[in-house]
Amino acid sequence: MIKACLNGDRTRADNPGVPITPAELADAAAAAVQAGADALHLHPRGADELESLHWPDIRAAVEAVQAACPGVPLGVSTREPIVPDLTERLRLIADWQPGPDFASVNFHEPGATQVADLLLARGIAVEAGLFTPEAAATYLAWSGPTHRILIEAIPGISPGPDGPTAAQTILAALPTTDIPVLVHGEAHWTWPTLHWARTQGHHLRLGLEDTLTTPHGDPATSTAHLFSYL
């Protein structure tokens, strides 16, 4: 399985191809699916073009993408920097109707288990994002039902000198599991991590959220463009 991550916290200043509005997200999602994406991950935005957890913004983005890509699993982010106050973040997520099929939860963030429990209560599957072995320990202590484990090799956060090493270190903190495992890297770790993960038979993630350049260092125009190098 290959999941497309369409935008993350990127802005148009980072890359003019970053989709922001629901219509842009729908177009980017459709192109990514045509290029081979099996699932989609996006960060809905408000009118100010900043990441949002408000239900009207979540709903607008999710419904636009679902209409463009019927039947393709769709997830969103719940990351702490979108709404740093945990109480407010939980209040906003409690308003979801539910909207997305799944949502990612970063288990190194304070309140991750509460966010995960709330998502499940809203009928939304949980993707467990693990940046570090310590996050893996928190996730294992939670032990809730999990849609997918994300092994996320993030420069400056994850352990090790490179993406494959970081991914292997995080994976080593987990017992053998039947839960699907997806591995990806960000920034200059993106492509080496993807190449390693593919040799290991893991699911993959790729898109403008993770990298703005092709394996050759050229600027990427879209997530679909990046997919052409897989």
**Of 102 and 99, more confident:** 102
Q: Where are the beta strands (DSSP E) in 14-130?
A: 39-42, 74-77, 102-106, 125-130
* Percent of the chain residues topping a pLDDT of 70: 100
What average pLDDT score do residues 62-76 get? Answer: 98
Residues of the domain holding 196: 2-227
Which pLDDT tens digit goes with each residue over 49-61?
Answer: 999 999 999 999 9
Q: Residue 220 carries which DSSP code?
A: P
* Number of domain units in the chain: 1
At residue 45 the predicted structure's pLDDT band, cuts being 50, 70 and 90, is: very high
**What tokens does 45 get?**
């935005």
Confidence at residue 119, expressed as pLDDT on a 0 to 100 scale: 98
**What tokens does 154 get?**
């993030």
Cα angle 211-175-112, degrees, rounded to a multiple of 5: 55
Confidence at residue 143, expressed as pLDDT on a 0 to 100 scale: 87
Confidence at residue 24, expressed as pLDDT on a 0 to 100 scale: 98
Residue with tokens 């081979």: 36
Residue with tokens 């957890």: 53
Q: Is the pLDDT of residue 68 over 90?
A: yes
- Whole-model pTM? 0.96
Rg for the chain, CA atoms, rounded: 16
Q: Name the phi and psi angles at 57, rounded to 5.
A: -75, -40
Which pLDDT tens digit goes with each residue over 113-161?
Answer: 999 999 999 999 999 999 999 999 999 999 899 999 999 999 999 999 9
Q: Name the phi and psi angles at 114, rounded to 5.
A: -70, -40
At residue 30 the predicted structure's pLDDT band, cuts being 50, 70 and 90, is: very high
Confidence at residue 228, expressed as pLDDT on a 0 to 100 scale: 97
Confidence at residue 50, expressed as pLDDT on a 0 to 100 scale: 98
- Round the average pLDDT of the chain to a whole number and report it: 97
CATH of the domain at 118: 3.20.20.70
Confidence at residue 98, expressed as pLDDT on a 0 to 100 scale: 85
Q: Is the pLDDT of residue 11 over 90?
A: yes
What average pLDDT score do residues 161-189 get? Answer: 97
Short-list 180, 138, 132, CA closest to 153: 132
Which pLDDT tens digit goes with each residue over 184-211?
Answer: 999 999 999 999 999 999 999 999 999 9
